[in-house]
Structures are given as C-alpha cells and as structure tokens.
Structure 1
C-alpha cells in the first residue's frame, strides 16, 4: 500500500469538518494496510498517542478565530525520511505550503483537498469593502495553490464548479467525504422515546442538527 503524508492547518483538539475528514481518511487507509502520517499545528489539549503517526508542528494563536492556531511551515524529519509516495494537502495555508514544498523537492504527486472556500473566512478579518477585497485576494491565492497540485479533490459538484469559476485548471475529482454509517446509525424507537422523555418533548416530528455553530455557518 502507498505511504501518504497528509498536511492540515486544522486538527485536534479543534473539531470541525476538516478534522473529521482527515481522521476518517486516516482510519480507513490504515484499516486497509496503508500508512498515513499527519502533520498539523500543535495545540494545548491534544497529544498524539505513542502509536499514532502524527507530527505536531510549532504554532501560534490566531486572534480572529477562536480555537484556531496557525501552524508554522515545517516538514518533520520522520515524514521526510519516510519517503511518502503521495503528499496530501488538506488546507492551502502554512502547512499546505509545506506539503507543496515537499512535493516539489521530492518530485512526488501532490493531492489538494478543497474542503471549503477560503473567502468564507474574510468576515473574520474585516467588514464591508475591505472584506470584499480580502475575498478577492483569497480566491486568487486559492487558484494559485490549487493549480500547483497534481489533482484536486472536491466533496461535491458545486465545490468543483466553484473551483472552475475562480480559474482552477487542475483536474478535479469529486470524492464525497462520506458518513460513518456505524456511528451515525438509527437509534431505534426506544432511544427516541427516552430522548423525548429526557428533554420533555411532545410527540410529533423532530428536526435535529449536528454540526458546529461557527460564525460562517
């Protein structure tokens, strides 16, 4: 099986869609006998286990987004020595640039995942016309980064279409993130009844939401 080096600018203990996807891909790949190292910004509250092929880098706090830390560009020595056959950038920021650097230096294929438009985060940095300008810069940078990958992975057709709209010419493959069908399984009538009783809910349709309450959501 191929050895993969995954680089991500967001990881545990922060819980979000990118973190969940990276963890899921790692678990499924390892179940199939592959190796996947993960390079991520180190953060208080999470220490990789002794068997985990995880490599935290130095990081600094990001004042505009609570819980997010900026990883400093780095390629850990164990990851470089492992000579990965595929390098996977899950994000285009500091550690994504580290992935690009390693791919170029070793002439290794670079896969770039497109999890979310970076322009969505402009409102964290500014407002009004300045936010619009930041969005434009973000889209240009996004195009520059994605066009340096061997292939881009997008979770849906709208995401692929957006990449084309901003000028990404790299081949784009749609790979849905998927859902853990064992964890997110129907609970059964008994569990539903107990949930209603626990929260004092009447009979009738219930609508639930699973996700984080970030500003951009």
Structure 2
C-alpha cells in the first residue's frame, strides 16, 4: 500500500506531532507498506530520503521560527505520479488542503488526524491565532465552495455578544472550522476522547474514531543511561519534564513547586527549548534554585530516552491544551510514574501508573512530589503499571489497526466508484 502523510510539523523539528508521524511511518514500513512524507522545505536540511517530499515554505512564528508550506495551483498535479492508495493529512490548513486536492484528483480515501488544540492557544498567542482563524474563516468557503462558516447560529447571537465573550467565540469558531475540514474527508481520527467530544459538539459528522498516538516501546525499554548528558549523583532524585519551553506548557508552575518542595536532593530536569527559556532561567536564578532546576536544551531522541531512564518521576503541567502527549507514552515505556493536572487527558493515564493532582498550581504538584518521592513502594507499583500501560500503545499493534481502517476505506471508495 502506498500511503501519503501530509504534515506541516515534521523533522528536523522535534516535538510530539513529528514524533508520532515518524513512529507510525516506521511501524507501517515494518509491515511492508510504502510511506511518503509531504512536509515543508527546511533550508539547509537534507533528509537523504527519497520518500520525504519537501514543499516550498515560508517561516511561521506561532511558537517559534518554523517552516510552513506554501500551496499554489498545480501543486497537487505534481504528485499524480506517486499514485497513492491513501492520503492522510496531519494538518487541517496549508498541507491539509493540498492533501484534500491530491485525494480528490487520485480518487483515494482521505484520512485526517486532528493533533493539536490550536484554538486553546488564543490566550498565549492572541494575534497569531486570531489572524489565522480570520484567514481560514474566509479561505475555507472559497476552497470548499460552500456557504460562510460562522460561530453564530442566528443574528440574535450577535446582538447578545459581550466583549468578554470574544475569546470563547473565537475558540468555538476554530473548532467549527476544524470540523468542517474533517467533514470533507473520508475519515477523522482523534488521538483522545476529549478531543473527539469537542469535534462532535462542533459539528463533526464524517466517520471517526479515537485512535491514540503510538510508540516503539522497544526503543525505550532497551534504553540505558549511558547516552544521557546528565550525571546523576547517588541519593539524587530526578523529576523530568519533556516539553517545549512555552507559556502553554506551564513550566513556571513546576518551578513554583520546586520552591515549595524545598529539597536540595530533588532535581527538576526541563528537557526542551522554546520562547520562554530565558524567562524561566531568570526565574530560577532569582529564587536561588539554579542547583535544583536543570535546563538541558533540545536533545536527540536517544538522549531523551536516557534521561527518562534516570528519572524517578515524569511530570507535565499543561492544562486544557494538550491532546494526547507523546511524552506520556515515552515515560510509561520507561516505567515512570506520571504526575499531571489536566483531568481531560485519559489516554495512557490510569490510577495504576499516574497521579492526577488536586489543583493546577505549584502547591498541588509539590504535594504529589513529596508523597511519591517519600514512598518507594508506591513508586514501584506505579512503575510496574506504567510498563503494562505502554504495551497497549505499541506501534506495531497500532499500525496494524490503522491499516485495517485504510483497507476498509479503500473498499468503500471502490464501491462508490463502481456505482458511478
């Protein structure tokens, strides 16, 4: 089977979406399928891979400087020669629209996966997100040749609009637009239950299912501490967070927790880089926590796996932003107990491997840290539970399930053609 993944988020940028796509590609290829990646061009980067097709790009600055594809008439035609069996978009803008055109031209099923809750970023990136929503609100009706897609049911909603309602309306509009895109695909995949509910409420009607991200568990179970850039001293305990350093990931809450925990033997390891890095480093220094909070910067996948092997706990402080973080699966595959605060997230999180905090601020995290780090038996139980949970998301198993969905959609598409 020839499968085309379309994404504006891909390597060499390392983050959850790119990691998920790479993992699925590798698993599908192990099953004997041929997978192409269609992604933005990254100047100066050479993939050395003829199955990665780079598109013209410009820089996007929502999180950080990152390339975004530029689409134009005639671009879809250039991909006719590949004769794909399935098109799968992992983005609902830019390359998502190109994927839609390619699937239509080639008469093959179009799957789309909704990875990111972009509308939840409006508080942290109001100008960029608002501008994007306005552009898509005008652009989709042109591309889809449909009536305007608006967040209001009737004029009375506009008359009753208050200034403080603006952000919630923008968020609602974002989900309506996302659902409208998905409704023009053959199948929609949501990595989490809470996202599936949001899309349904926003008007999703196309066939869909919750289909979580996957992980190559062997990579993490076989990892050792030898590749780690950190030297863990006897008696030290590591709390590790792997995430982009940005407002929506809320690392400042974890720094608050470390100040309240007040235990020199416990180190908070923040893996990643991003726009708030300088601000976080300054905050740590001003509180006298420079010896207890470690900033590693961006690391390779093998180095991240090694640090997770050194860790005693894994933590993520994002709240009502993340969908199904890949880092939870990576932590589970390393046998790490997970601490989190977002009650909406459930995939890969059970009472047998994770602890949901009572609140979303530093004091709630500090309490859980103290309880778990002081209870070796509880940590061991959660660690054993984590390894069991990770097996449910093994990439080979998940790839086989995805292939079954593809094959079913191909059969449906062939029946539709036969009836025409």
- Based on CA coordinates, which of the two structures has the bigger radius of gyration? 2
- Which of 162, 176, 180 is residue 198 of structure 2 equivalent to? 162
SS at match of 1:56: strand
Give per-residue Cα distances to partners, 1:138-174, cap 9 Å, x unaligned: 2221111011111111112222112112111112122
Structure 1 residue 62, shift from structure 2 partner: 1.5
Q: Distance between the aligned counterparts of 2:173 and 2:97, measured in 1?
A: 17
**Aligned-partner Cα distance in 1 for 2:100–2:175:** 18
Which 4+ stretches in 1 moved above 6 angstroms? none
Equivalents in 2 of 1:129, 1:213: separation in Å?
29
Cα pair distance change 1:66/1:209, threshold 3 Å:
same
Alpha-carbon offset, residue 185 of structure 1: 1.8
Q: Measure, in 2, the Cα distance between the counterparts of 1:138 and 1:27.
A: 32
CA distance in 1, matches of 2:239, 2:113: 31
| Counterpart pick for 2:50 among 42, 49, 52 | 52
Moved more, 95-104 or 164-173: 164-173
Partner of 1:213: 245
Unmatched 5+ residue regions in structure 1? none
Q: How many residues are matched?
A: 209
For the aligned residues, what is the CA RMSD? Answer: 2.6
1:54 deviates by 0.6
Give the SS at the match of 1:173: strand
* 1:12 counterpart SS class: coil
Q: Say which is worse superposed, 96-105 or 114-123, in terms of deviation.
A: 114-123
Q: Which structure dedicates a bigger proportion of its chain to helix? A: 2
Q: Is 1:84 aligned to 2:84, yes or no?
A: yes
Alignment of 1:110-121 (within 5 A): 110-121=110-121
Provide the rounded CA distance (Å) in 1 between the counterparts of 2:77 and 2:46.
16
The 5 Å alignment of 1:81-160 reads: 81-122=81-122, 123-126=124-127, 131-160=167-196
Q: Which runs of 5+ in 2 are unaligned?
A: 131-163, 250-420
Residues 112 and 187 of structure 1: is their aligned pair in 2 closer, same or farther, counting only changes over 3 Å? closer
- SS of residue paired to 2:215: coil
- 2:111 is paired with a residue of what secondary structure? strand
SS of the residue corresponding to residue 216 of structure 1 reads helix
* Offset of residue 187 of structure 1: 5.5
SS in 1 for 2:103: helix
Is 1:26 equivalent to 2:61 in the alignment? no
Deviations 1:30-51 (A, max 9, x none): 11111111111111342221x4
1:12/1:46 contact within 8 Å kept: no
**Which of 70, 73, 98 is 1:72 aligned to?**
70
Q: Cα deviation per residue 1:52-73 (whole Å; 9 max; x = unaligned)?
A: 3011111111133313222112
Name the structure 1 match of 2:231.
198
Contact 2:60 2:68 (8 Å CA) reproduced: yes
Aligned position for 1:14: 13
Return the offset for 1:133.
4.8
Task: Measure how far apart 1:129 and its partner are.
Answer: 6.5
